[in-house]
Amino acid sequence: MFFKDIPGNNEVKSRLISTVTKGRIPHAQIFLGKEGAGGLPMALALASYIMCEYKNETDSCGHCNQCNKSHKFIHPDIHFSYPVVKFGDKKRADTTSDDFLPKWREILTETPYMGTTEWLQHIDAENNLPNINVKECNDIMHKLNMMSYESDNKVLIMWLPEYLGAEGNRLLKLIEEPTDNTFIILVAENQDHILQTILSRCQLVKIPVFESKDISQYISVKLDLNSERAEQIANLCEGNINLALSIAKNEAPDYSDMLISWLRVAYKSDPVEINKWISGITDMSKDEQINFFEYGLHFFRQFNFHTLTHNNQVMLTNKELEIAKKMSSIINFEKSIDIIDIINEAAQNISRNINVKIMLFADTLLIGEIIRKK
């Protein structure tokens, strides 16, 4: 992984790079960032940079002996640890990350911004709870105490140390008194779930969520989306690239068109038209339905911001902003708040397996009344 493959976050990148060029890489650090913020890609880019023989000021070279392996996640001195479940016929206690290494390399190649859900699906974890077990901790100590193979340095990247139980304390000595040129990078999402003993001994590197514009550019190139659609998705996903990719891959219909037709149908309140609109929604998967209502909430919040401030710097695409401007002659701030309440409740109810058709019919009539109110 190159630093340049990760959108934005230039401040973090240059701080990490300078620890390498100044020879001040912390022996143990925690990259702390929400899901989809790119903590793991950042750790992978740093590991490649540490190993690279011909690094430049901003990135690893990509073609030296070390890069040839580190960029394919097969460098023998870059070790990985991550939560897993029982592997095949093995007992859980005997299973470690290494059993899932081919799967791990696959997902890093495909989508290093993945969340726990994608990882567990990828390894067919079904309902088994993942963790990082005792054998794994012992293996890590063994690996890091051995001589390195091809580089002067050794790196351990542990993804989600939150899954370490009390056995994580076995790693404390390693963190406190690491062998020379050994660098431990823990990539975490939730500070509250990390063993305090470990947290207090690592240097904390906060990974901020991505800016909307960076996500928009990233997904438009990666998934060949038009810029309007990419921007719309980026605005929705609160800095989470993983979420942006999953929404984009769903090939969902244009949510703004759906929302406008909903408001139109509600305004007229013709039962036949309402039912037709509802069947469009119920044809979608539950995830898409939730995404649509989330979109509705996002749109109306931005609409309110625009109505109150007349500020055009809202998180809406040009097309959405035009819609918002036209809409403001019929829907004022108070009406919009009432509509947000209805959409919010709908979004919550959909996850609760209620009858979506009946709920949406009632909601549509309610929204109609709100819009027509003088």
Q: Please give the residue ranges that form the binding site for Zn ion (CB under 5 A).
A: 52, 60-61, 64, 67
CB of 54 vs Zn ion, minimal distance in Å? 5
Cβ 41 to Zn ion, closest distance in Å? 17
Q: Which residue lies nearer to Zn ion by CB, 60 or 307?
A: 60
Question: Taking the complex as a whole, how short is the minimal distance between the CB of residue 52 and Zn ion, in angstroms?
Answer: 3
Q: Closest distance between Zn ion and the C-beta of residue 28, in Å?
A: 24
Comparison of 53 and 345: residue with beta carbon closer to Zn ion: 53
Whether 42 and 241 have beta carbons less than 8 Å apart is answered as: no
CB of 2 to Zn ion, least distance (A): 10
In the complex with Zn ion, the residue whose CB is nearer, 52 or 350, is: 52
- For Zn ion, the closer CB: 70 or 291: 70
Q: What is the 3 state secondary structure string of the chain?
A: CCHHHCCCCHHHHHHHHHHHHCCCCCCEEEEECCCCCCHHHHHHHHHHHHHCCCCCCCCCCCCCHHHHHHCCCCCCCEEEECCECCCCCCCHHHCCHHHHHHHHHHHHHHCCCCCHHHHHHHCCCCCCCCEECHHHHHHHHHHHHCCCCCCCCEEEEEECHHHECHHHHHHHHHHHCCCCCEEEEEEECCHHHCCHHHHCCCEEEECCCCCHHHHHHHHHHHCCCCHHHHHHHHHHCCCCHHHHHHHHHCCCCCHHHHHHHHHHHHHHCCHHHHHHHHHHHHCCCHHHHHHHHHHHHHHHHHHHHHHHHCCCCCCCCHHHHHHHHHHCCCCCHHHHHHHHHHHHHHHHHHCCCCCHHHHHHHHHHHHHHHHHCC
Rounded-to-integer distance, Cα 315 and Cα 320, Å: 9
Q: Which is nearer to Zn ion, 60 or 291 (CB)?
A: 60
For Zn ion, the closer CB: 67 or 263: 67
Indicate the residue among 52 and 160 with the shorter CB distance to Zn ion.
Answer: 52
Kindly tell me which of 9 and 48 has the beta carbon lying closer to Zn ion.
Answer: 48
Which residue, 17 or 67, is less far from Zn ion as judged by CB? 67
Minimum distance of Zn ion from residue 49's CB (angstroms)? 9
Which of 87, 115, 90, 113 minimizes the C-alpha distance to 100? 87
Smallest CA-to-CA distance from 308 within 324, 288, 293 is with 324
